[in-house]
Amino acid sequence: MNIFRFSSPQTFYPLAGRLVPVFAVLAALFTAAGLWIGLFVAPSDAVQGEVYRIIHIHVAAAWMSMFIYMVMAFWAAIGLGLGTRLSFYMTQALAPTGAMFCFLALWTGALWGRPTWGAYWVWDARLTSQLLLLFLYAGFIALTRSIEDPRRADRAGAIIALVGAVNVPVIYFSVKWWNTLHQGASVNMKGSSMASVMLVAMLLTALGCWFYSIAASLTRARRIILERERHTDWAAAEIARLTAGPAGGGQ
């Protein structure tokens, strides 16, 4: 199988349509399993009591916010280098989901910081660089939507995605490079400092969020493909097929 075949919007569109329900089901199963273990099975933390249970969303959301930005930067580089339209569509399809997880990481962090540090917010290197990531997402979305010419919007967005990617390793290593209030990584390449049942719950939830992001961004990519490719024969036929019938604009 030639994977480059799927770099064409026409072949990618139906493939994405088949993958969305698969990833949506996987997302629901993994998140449900992770939350069940994390909220009902795992014991309380010796130091933090019950409030540590925020970790199951906090870490998953923070990982996704950084990972999605890196994937956007990857597609931006491919798009600028090879001029493939689909790569630009993917960066725009990923951004809102990445922004959502970035906000969620900050929100759950604030609600975890208050009972453990005594403050919702501190200007710590980890928190500040994560806030900058939210601004980068917001900047990307605002810029790509405000430029009228879609091909110029693609390029401008790709440049923000690439330049902003420098911030992601800064977030990740901030707890090592600076003396931060935020704790260091509990999970790294060498292993984990967490109890195994808590770790299993966190990893299941993180995988669930990962599958959710794939399903959400592929759904968004399908809409973008139809909008941008509407002058091609296949997309015009697909639009006519989807909007035909008495209901009009059905699924």
Partner 1 sequence: MMYWQSLADFLSMGGRGFFVWGSYGVAFLLVVLEIWLLRRSRRQSLRRLQQLQALERD
Write out the residues near partner 1 by the rule CB under 8 A. 39-44, 49-51, 53-54, 57-58, 61, 96-97, 100, 103-104, 107-108, 111-112, 114-115, 212, 216, 219-220, 222-223, 226-227, 230, 236, 239-240, 242-243, 248-249
Residue among 54 and 160 whose Cβ is closer to partner 1: 54
Provide, rounded to whole angstroms, the least separation between the CB of residue 84 and partner 1.
22
- The two tokens of residue 248 are 């009009």
Residue among 85 and 222 whose Cβ is closer to partner 1: 222
Render 43-85 in DSSP notation, one character per residue. Answer: --BTTTBTGGGGHHHHHHHHHHHHHHHHHHHHHHHHHHHH--H
Provide, rounded to whole angstroms, the least separation between the CB of residue 184 and partner 1.
21
State the helix-helix crossing angle for 125-146 and 85-117, rounded to 10 degrees: 150
Q: 113-118 — which CB contacts under 8 Å span 24+ positions?
A: 115/51, 116/48, 116/51, 117/181
DSSP 8-state assignment for residue 246? S
Residue among 187 and 226 whose Cβ is closer to partner 1: 226
Residue among 156 and 226 whose Cβ is closer to partner 1: 226
Provide, rounded to whole angstroms, the least separation between the CB of residue 104 and partner 1.
6
Instruction: Please tell me whether residue 168 adopts helix, strand or coil conformation.
Output: helix
What distance, in Å, lies between the first and last C-alpha atoms of the chain?
Answer: 30
Provide, rounded to whole angstroms, the least separation between the CB of residue 162 and partner 1.
25
Residue among 8 and 243 whose Cβ is closer to partner 1: 243
Provide, rounded to whole angstroms, the least separation between the CB of residue 56 and partner 1.
9
Residue among 15 and 39 whose Cβ is closer to partner 1: 39
Instruction: Please tell me whether residue 247 adopts helix, strand or coil conformation.
Output: coil
Rounded Cα distance, 56 and 123, in Å: 24
Q: Which of 147, 152, 134 is nearest to 95 (CA)?
A: 134
Residue among 41 and 163 whose Cβ is closer to partner 1: 41
Provide, rounded to whole angstroms, the least separation between the CB of residue 199 and partner 1.
16
Q: ∠ CA(70), CA(100), CA(23), 5° rounding?
A: 75
Provide, rounded to whole angstroms, the least separation between the CB of residue 50 and partner 1.
4
